[in-house]
Structure 1
């Protein structure tokens, strides 16, 4: 069990947007991760909440291996909280800082996400 992937999202200009999507293996882990909602990363207040299906499709579209893993996870666990969205991240947050925020959740992959067709 643990976090399968983290996607750091970027705006249309390529700059960090202050958001990330976190793919989880189980509903129990998602519930535990939601306890990190409204906590701080450095001086920034970070929100953690379930991601919409549209946000997930857009952010993970470029990586077929992650899509396959998410599909498998969604088949095994019927929960809307398999993917969580983090909002309010420091714009300069590194992958190491994101991993530190999720310490104890067995992070396996962190990646950057380019903006989608709509510029988000």
Structure 2
């Protein structure tokens, strides 16, 4: 059941990303045809991605450090080192993707017409 929800979340994120791109492109196209200084939507698109990527890296590192701090205690309590490493990688991956998902949803809400 858990893997079904994960797959649905990935599909929903991919669909949401496509919608955000579709809503953002006309705005960026209009910016490119004007002499508007700074091109706010284009700058925002790039800066949000950089910020989300950096935040994701930090979150992943914190997750790995937390897993490393408890690794030997978990091994001594009888847990398999292999399963602990797999769990650490999964947690770090989820932590790294979370800021990007948050930004994606915020962009969708901001760009939806009439909202």
TM, length-normalised to structure 1 = 0.25
Greater Rg by CA: 2
Q: Which has the higher helix share?
A: 2
